Chains A and B, each alone.
Chain A
Amino acid sequence: MFTEIDIATMDEPAADSVPPQPWRTNKRIKGKPVNGTKKSCDTRAEWVNHIKRIRDAQDQAAFAELFQHFAPRVKAFLIRSGSDATTAEECAQEVMATLWHKAHLFDPSRATVATWVFTIARNKRIDVIRKQRRPEPEELDWGPEAEPEQDDVIALQQETAQLRTAILALPEAQRELIEKAYFGDLSHREIASQTGLPLGTIKSRIRLALDRLRHAMN
């Protein structure tokens, strides 16, 4: 299913184009993020502000940076999931457009931007490649009046950075199995739960965020 057409490594956005971030003190790292360090989680947390800038100010510069980072990943993900390069290109554009239009629904106390982009790309894959509807749970959002707590946002972004470190530290065979599952190469019968993923902390973190959201909604 894997096609090599159009695959190339894409550079990270230039470090000097990143605007100041309220909770970020370290400089953004150019190139591959360093696994699990404080810096790496800052690198990831800053995308959160890009989404806010799109949501609040229709900021095209912020969008261009997100696009440069995520569109090639989404396209590679779709190709890896069985799409041809032309379809993957179109779908990656649609995924990025969805990100713009749904910026107000992104909840950084429950997901990183990478996670959120993944869910949009996954739904696109189900829609276009598998030609299937994707039932989603009832939407929960903070609405126009409320925002998640900054501390919760930072904590979730840090937990996710730790999850990433843990995934990268898994034995190669196990990591391949996880990748296959998320690229849609495994049927639900083949996905075993014993993937050894350390999800306890992040799950508790998301649960806490959901509780606060429910409280805010009531």
Chain B
Amino acid sequence: MSKSIKHHLTDDLLMAYAAGNLPEAFDLMVATHLSLCDHCRARAESFEAVGGQVLEDQAQTAQMGSDALAATMALISQGAPTPKPAHKKCAVLPAPLQDYVGGDVNDIRWRPVGMGVKQAILPTTNEATARLLFIPAGAAVPDHSHRGIEMTMVLQGAFSDEVDHFARGDVEIADQDLEHMPVADISEDCICLAVTDAPLKFTKLMPRLFQPFLRI
């Protein structure tokens, strides 16, 4: 858990996550941030409390079949589902991301997109896209704007742009109104999780969008 997070998730996103209405890629962003940020975890869990009340106070309930309890006891007697293998402590990838990468930071299957920048698209439903980005220390991502919403969360290193400085756990939420040029801190390579709901064709767009240069 990181105590120094300055840039948090919005109420809209946390409520939609609690309600279960987000595209998978955004769920992944929220779950990853909550793993690092107890401030937002408490906010998300308070939105879940609202869900508990909605469940409790429904106008109507639905009668279960007459053998439902016996059937459930039979299900229970089959034993608990095999628990997922415990996650390794990884200084970069919180547990939800390890699930999507299938390992830790060394297992990410990076694809170069030019000038040292690399990306790895994670397997989610296609309403939105999640990808990991690797930006070499000191490199910049040239001015670009966004279609739809793009959220970027820092996992390692840090970057700065016209808005602020973003370090591990910080989330930048950019929409079509923001034009910015993120620059990775010189001290360390920057790894981010980036999620967008725009139907981007990364393979075509990436070489044009990401032409980093070294700032020394």
The reply to whether B15 and A191 contact each other, CB–CB distance below 8 Å, is yes
Contact residues of A: prevailing secondary structure: helix
Task: Write out, one digit per residue, whether chain A residues 65-108 have a CB within 8 A of any chain B CB (1) or not (0).
Answer: 00110011111110110000100110011101100110000000
4 more contacts with CB within 8 A, not counting A92-B68, A188-B22, are: A97-B75, A117-B52, A132-B125, A206-B46
B34-75 interface (Cβ within 8 A of A)? 34-35, 38-39, 41-43, 45-58, 60-65, 68-69, 71-73, 75
A interface, CB within 8 angstroms of B: 6-10, 60, 63-64, 67-68, 71-77, 79-80, 85, 88-89, 92-94, 96-97, 100-101, 110-112, 114-119, 121-123, 125-126, 130, 132-139, 160, 163-164, 167-168, 178-179, 181-184, 186-188, 191-193, 195, 197, 199, 202-204, 206-207, 210-211, 214
B66-110 interface (Cβ within 8 A of A)? 68-69, 71-73, 75-76, 80-81, 87, 94-96, 99-100
Residue among B10, B52, B71 with the most chain A CB within 10 A? B52
Whether B28 sits at the interface, judged by CB under 8 Å, is yes
The contact sample of 21 A-B pairs, CB cut-off 8 A, is: A68-B69, A73-B58, A75-B61, A79-B62, A80-B58, A89-B65, A101-B80, A110-B45, A115-B49, A115-B52, A122-B51, A137-B31, A139-B95, A160-B49, A164-B56, A178-B50, A188-B13, A191-B15, A199-B47, A202-B49, A206-B41
- Indicate which residue in A97, A121, A210 contacts B42 across the interface (CB closer than 8 Å): A210
The reply to whether B46 and A71 contact each other, CB–CB distance below 8 Å, is no
Whether B179 sits at the interface, judged by CB under 8 Å, is no
Contacts between the two chains (Cβ within 8 Å), count? 213
